[in-house]
């Protein structure tokens, strides 16, 4: 088992973790940043980023993530990709530091640190209805950017009424013949600009107040059964794909035994990104926050690193 020591371990290299790394470098902190997949976070699957200040030329999420990574490399920050951390423990009675010390372990490595930033993001929620598990990857998808091109000129559906559902439905209209947008209420949650665009798009047909009951198909998805909540009637929609965008589940398992979580499992923090456990911080989509945007995640990371600099000064 290899061992490494650092002042700060940043777990996750999405916008929150990368924002934290940039500010940790500026503060001259000794830190390591690890990412269990490829650096960039969820935005690498986002077709278009239109609301990051200064970037107004139709940049994709993948390109923006690359810019964040390039910026880190320019500051000699080494992002350790494909590096999963499997467990975190608090160590008792450590000398030379008046705060907590932690051991974060991967397959054959332990990293000892005085602070940790959890920037592990969130994963898509699932509808959990009949046929979903069997048809996953065979027409049931969580990523229009990844899978949309497989359904060129076909009829597909998107489930959800938030920014993601509407944005991805709009993206799909560039590829497919028609998109049913199935939402459980009769009004969208998405921002006004996206709502207007979707309502003007002739390829999108809204199916209001309806929930998905079942996915049907053998080798591939052929139809979806939906039920209208107002009249209780079910109907079958013939579709080649359904893209689910019904919210997110936090990736907070690593620290659920150490910090307070909210009722949905997101990590509770204060405005400095401190959690209930001294020395553990959380940023971006994994923490309880009213808004989940790239810009808010990056800002969380910056705040956490600036605060941690003060924290180390106080603790000696
Ligand atoms: P979200 O805002 O949580 O919306 C999830 C949608 O799924 C809601 O409309 C919800 O319906 C619906 N839903 C939840 N559970 C459901 C179920 N079991 N069955 C059917 N429908 C269900 O998630 P999101 O759209 O992924 O957005 C997440 C965050 O990222 C938000 O803060 C959003 O603003 C942000 N975001 C921003 C951008 C952007 O700025 N361009 C793009 C994407 C996401 P109800 O409305 O009835 O609750």
How far is residue 308's CA from residue 303's CA, in Å, rounded to a whole number? 9
Name the active-site residue from 72, 108, 143, 191. 143
How far is residue 154's CA from residue 243's CA, in Å, rounded to a whole number? 13
- The verdict on whether 7 is a catalytic residue reads no
Assess whether the C-beta atom of 160 lies below 6 angstroms from ligand 1.
yes
Report, as an integer, the average pLDDT of 138-163.
Answer: 96
Label residues 212-228 b or e (16+ Cβ within 10 Å = b): bbbbbbeeebebbbbbe
Whether 124 has a pLDDT exceeding 90, the answer reads yes
pLDDT band at residue 58 under the 50/70/90 scheme? confident
Least confident residue range of 46-60, 120-134, 185-199 = 46-60
- The verdict on whether 143 is a catalytic residue reads yes
How far is residue 70's CA from residue 41's CA, in Å, rounded to a whole number? 15
Look at residue 222 in the predicted model and tell me its pLDDT: 98
Angstrom distances, CA of residue 98 to CA of 93, 95, 314:
9, 8, 9
Assess whether the C-beta atom of 173 lies below 6 angstroms from ligand 1.
no
Whether 118 has a pLDDT exceeding 80, the answer reads yes
Look at residue 45 in the predicted model and tell me its pLDDT: 87
Report, as an integer, the average pLDDT of 58-67.
Answer: 94
Reply yes or no on domain 126-244 having CATH 3.30.230.10: no
Q: Whose CA is nearest to atom 35 of ligand 1?
A: 292
Report, as an integer, the average pLDDT of 281-291.
Answer: 96
Name the active-site residue from 76, 108, 146, 285. 146
* Residue 100: both structure tokens together: 């907590």
Assess whether the C-beta atom of 185 lies below 6 angstroms from ligand 1.
yes
Look at residue 310 in the predicted model and tell me its pLDDT: 97
Q: What is the mean pLDDT of the chain?
A: 96
Whether 237 has a pLDDT exceeding 90, the answer reads yes
Look at residue 227 in the predicted model and tell me its pLDDT: 98
- The verdict on whether 260 is a catalytic residue reads no
Whether 276 has a pLDDT exceeding 80, the answer reads yes
Digit-coded pLDDT (tens) for 191-219: 999 999 999 999 999 999 999 999 999 99
Q: Whose CA is nearest to atom 43 of ligand 1?
A: 164
| pTM of the model as a whole | 0.91
Whether 33 has a pLDDT exceeding 80, the answer reads yes
Assess whether the C-beta atom of 304 lies below 6 angstroms from ligand 1.
no
pLDDT band at residue 286 under the 50/70/90 scheme? very high
Assess whether the C-beta atom of 312 lies below 6 angstroms from ligand 1.
no
- Judged on CB neighbours under 10 Å (0-12, 13-18, 19+), 136 is middle
Domain(s) labelled CATH 3.50.50.60 in the chain stretch across 2-123+248-315, 126-244
What residues form DSSP beta bridges with 159?
182, 244
Digit-coded pLDDT (tens) for 69-89: 999 999 999 999 999 999 999
CATH, domain range 2-123+248-315:
3.50.50.60
How far is residue 301's CA from residue 212's CA, in Å, rounded to a whole number? 37
Q: How far is the CA of 160 from the centre of ligand 1 (A)?
A: 6
Report, as an integer, the average pLDDT of 128-152.
Answer: 95
């Amino acid at each position: 088992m290899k061992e490494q020591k650092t002042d700060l371990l940043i777990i996750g290299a999405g916008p929150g973790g990368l924002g934290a790394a940039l500010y940790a470098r500026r503060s001259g902190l000794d830190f390591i940043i690890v990412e269990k997949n490829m650096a960039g976070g969820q935005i690498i699957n986002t077709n278009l980023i239109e609301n990051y200040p200064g970037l107004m030329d139709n940049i994709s999420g993948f390109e923006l993530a690359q810019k964040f990574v390039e910026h880190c490399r320019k500051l000699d920050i080494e992002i350790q990709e494909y590096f999963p951390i499997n467990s975190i423990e608090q160590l008792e009675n450590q000398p030379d530091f008046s705060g907590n010390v932690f051991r974060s372990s991967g397959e054959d490595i332990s990293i000892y640190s005085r602070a940790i930033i959890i920037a592990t993001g969130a994963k898509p929620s699932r509808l959990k209805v009949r046929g979903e598990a069997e048809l996953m990857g065979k027409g049931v998808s969580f990523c229009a950017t990844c899978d949309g091109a497989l359904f060129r000129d076909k009829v597909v559906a998107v489930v959800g009424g938030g920014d993601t559902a509407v944005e991805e439905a709009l993206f799909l209209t560039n590829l497919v013949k028609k998109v049913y947008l199935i939402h459980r209420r009769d009004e969208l949650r998405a921002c006004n600009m996206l709502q207007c665009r979707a309502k003007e798009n002739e390829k999108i047909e809204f199916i209001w107040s309806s929930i998905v009951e079942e996915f049907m198909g053998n080798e591939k998805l052929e139809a979806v059964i939906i039920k209208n909540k107002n009249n209780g009637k079910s109907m079958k929609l013939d579709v080649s794909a359904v893209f689910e965008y019904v919210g997110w589940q936090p990736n907070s398992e690593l620290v659920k035994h150490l910090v307070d979580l909210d009722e949905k499992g997101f990590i509770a923090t204060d405005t400095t990104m401190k959690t209930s456990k001294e020395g553990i911080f959380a940023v971006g989509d994994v923490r309880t926050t009213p808004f989940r945007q790239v810009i808010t995640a990056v800002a969380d990371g910056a705040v956490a690193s600036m605060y941690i600099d003060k924290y180390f000064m106080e603790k000696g």
